[in-house]
Amino acid sequence: MHWAHSHLLTVSDLSADDIHTVFELAERFAEMAHRPVKKAPALKGKSVVLFFAEPSTRTKTSFDIAAKRLSADTFSLAQSGSSLQKGENIKDTALTLQAMHPDALVIRHTVSGAAQYLSRILSCNVINAGDGWHAHPTQALLDGFCLHQVWSSFAQRTLLLLGDIAHSRVARSDVELFHKLGVQLRVCAPRTLLPRGIDNWPVQVFTDPVQACSGVDAIQCLRLQLERQDSGLLPSIREYAQVYALRPALLQLTQPEVKILHPGPMNRGVEIESSLADSSKSLVLSQVSAGVAVRMALLYLFLTQSPKE
Amino acid sequence: MSAPECAVRNGRWRDRLVDVFIARGHIVDLLPADPSRDLGHLDCIDAHGALLLPGLIDAHTHLREPGQEYKEDIASGLQAAAQGGFSHIMCMANTDPVNDCAPVTEFQLHKASATHPHGPFLHPVGALSKGLSGKELAPFFELAEAGCVALSNDGIPVADNHLFRRAVEYSTGPGLPVIDHCEDPGFSAHGVVNEGLISDALGLPGQPSIAEAMQVSRDILVARYLQIPIHLAHISTRESVELIARAKQDGVPVTAETCPHYLLWDQECVRGYNTLAKVNPPLRTRDDVLSLRQAVSEGVIDILVTDHAPHADFEKDAPFAQAPNGISGLDTALSLTWSLILDQILGIKDLCRLWSFAPASLFSLPVNEFCAGSPADICIFNPDDSWTVQAKDLASKGKNTPSMGQRLSGRVQAMMVQGRLVYARE
């Protein structure tokens, strides 16, 4: 198994072969979740720092469980309760952590480029768990893995990203990943939530969800930050929900076997009608399970195969 | 005419080799170079055929003193000016405290004369509003009397159109030109890079190019309505250039500046979250660069400025969004401009106009036209001396330039202000 990377900062770091390597390994690790003893010794003695300078439930827990299932030790650090809160800059915090010799650092930060910045100053593996609006490569990998588990092939498949594209690191990483896998991509949002340069993305662009949903194989709903209304991007959350929330009428326009995804956390009734989030077409909880398997695969690859080892 | 006290020998001025004779800080004669000429007792500098340029004038620099001397102080900033070929620089008011009252202006002038009594000379720019708050006019007469040569809210654009109008009107009393930071702060929406491909790719908030053009439009309308000149700072976009060109054709009294970095580098420099290329306004598209180059060569842009904005290394060594805006420019300005001459975008006459004659005229500073009676502000520049930009070679405390590590053609060999040598490269 070949893994030439020292860090995972964006999906663009990965080739299609790399992505399939992660999927293959994740498939093996996913099976562990169903064993009575969910633990393997693969990373025994390794230490992983979880540096989450932005609130997170599923990603942080997912990395924590993934590391522990492979017997690595994890250490958590959050913005609050750390020296960052006392005004220490990110560089000094990171160098302090490095002096404790972790094998990998998983970073979540509100600032785009924070992971790339740390990769330049740290000698351990850096895994980006989401930076600003920029990238969330492990989310894209788990979304890909999730659909890989239900689709025989990515060819001829169409995925729609529905919601706030402009401010979404998930959208950026999903577009990169699924484009590499050969999936046809659509995005749909009000124009105020589409980035200025969207015409340069390898996607079909829609502002009308009725047109956008027609014939698609999967829909990834994206979270709307409710404060977007205050910044003048939307007239009201109500109107947004009425037009852009995924609802049964829109679902009728898709392929019959359509899959619904949402990276979470969900605003039920805003991005998606609650009944659809819980329906048989929904992969939302599968995404969470897939996340653990994908992150186990990544930690395994970085901590046993990476050139820094 | 006074007897010469010193001379610059064998320098190239307007395609011929000349000897320049100087007395009491002024040029007294300019003769064809003659190696056999006996200069007797005169102090002589031999230019060895290097170009002679009038002392450059930077109408837009940030010196950080008082308040942030760790980034730059007046002494280090003036040393960088000397090393860069500048004889006069104008420093913006966004110090801490802000230069919105006579004591700050006087403090800056005192520090300048104490550390560089023979130049380069410092000319403070007073704040347009108290504390740069954009809410209340600063005392313009007091600032003028203390020694300010212009007024600006640079760094924090004035959003209130009414206050801006009143500032422009009131500035005519003390006779200080208004320099406006062209950015509609509501529309720029805290963007840290140019909005478009780069903001999309890096996931950073983008600043739309028309945030600048909107403020340029406002300023053109105000200047036309009041028939009072307004100077437009650090222009960076095609839209702005088109508006300024049309306004000038219509006789509106606006003038404009841009910086070498907007003529050389585009938004691609920011890729990889390169904080050395983080500047406000942000580096724009290649199309904007080409438009600005044309505007500079055609005179739509009146002057070049550095917008020298030094920062400490540890401040730029941060995630992009958290790093401060600014490029350190005094040390490298002339070498960067020379690359435009090598690219045949500008000629040497343009260089003299953009960096010396035009800013002197705009801000009523001394102009050296290389004739008897001109102040002897002379930059000796060797176009054949190429150099690699390294931190140790920059006199500014700010080492924050995208040209760090790049090879540049042409370098200042020596700098004379009012007939005194203020810098000579070892």
Q: Do B319 and A195 touch (CB under 8 A)?
A: no
User: Residue B61 in contact with residue B31, Cβ under 8 Å?
Assistant: no
pLDDT tens profile B240-261? 999 999 999 999 999 999 999 9
- ipTM of this complex > 0.90? no
pLDDT digit string, tens, across residues B195-215:
999 999 999 999 999 999 999
For residue B245 the two structure tokens come to 């060109």
The number of beta carbons lying within 10 Å of the beta carbon of residue B21 is: 24
**If you measure CA to CA, which chain A residue comes closest to B271?**
A113
pLDDT tens digits, residue range B345-374? Answer: 999 999 999 999 999 999 999 989 999 999
Report, as an integer, the average pLDDT of B46-68: 97
Alpha-carbon distance of B213 to B232, in angstroms, equals 11
DSSP letters, A238-256, are: HHHHHHHSB-HHHHTTS-T
Best of A7, A111, A165, A200 to disrupt the B interface by mutation (most B CBs within 10 Å)? A111
Phi, psi of B297 (to 5 degrees): -70, -25
CB contact under 8 A, B203 and A133: yes
Q: What is the mean pLDDT of residues A233-240?
A: 91
Residue B307: active-site member: yes
Q: Which residue of B has its CA nearest to A121?
A: B317
Burial class of residue B341, CB neighbours in 10 A (0-12, 13-18, 19+): middle
Q: Does the pLDDT at position B310 exceed 50?
A: yes
The shortest C-alpha distance from B185 to chain A (Å) reads 14
Query: Looking at the complex, does the CB of residue A116 fall below 8 Å from at least one CB of chain B?
Result: yes
For A262-289, what is the mean pLDDT? 95
Question: pLDDT tens across A216-236, in order?
Answer: 999 999 999 887 777 789 989
Helix B238-249 to helix B209-226 angle, to the nearest 10 degrees?
20
What is the rounded CA–CA span in Å between residue B221 and residue B219? Answer: 5
The C-alpha of A88 sits at a distance from chain B's nearest C-alpha, in angstroms, of: 12
Sequence-distant (6+) residues with CB within 8 A of B110 are none
pLDDT at site A30: 95
Q: Peptide bond before B281: cis, by omega within 30 degrees of 0?
A: yes
**How many CA atoms does the CB half-sphere of B210 hold within 13 Å?**
2
| Residues B321 and B331 sit within 8 Å (Cβ to Cβ) | no
pLDDT digits (tens, 9 = 90+) for B383-400: 999 999 999 999 999 999
Binary contact (A197, B204; C-beta < 8 A): no
Closest Cα to residue A270, out of A208, A220, A221?
A221
> pLDDT higher for B55 or A89?
B55
At A308 the pLDDT is 56
Q: What average pLDDT does range A163-170 have in this prediction?
A: 96
pLDDT in tens, B157-180: 999 999 999 999 999 999 999 999
The reply to whether A90 touches chain B by the CB within 8 Å rule is yes
What residues of B are in contact with residue A172 (Cβ under 8 Å)? 200, 203
Across the interface, do A113 and B200 touch by the CB < 8 Å criterion? no
Say which of B196, B206, B319 has its CB closest to residue A90.
B319
Tell me the mean pLDDT in the region B223-237. Answer: 98
Contacts of B272 in chain A (CB under 8 A): 116
Q: Indicate the average pLDDT of chain B.
A: 96
Q: What is the pLDDT of residue A309?
A: 42
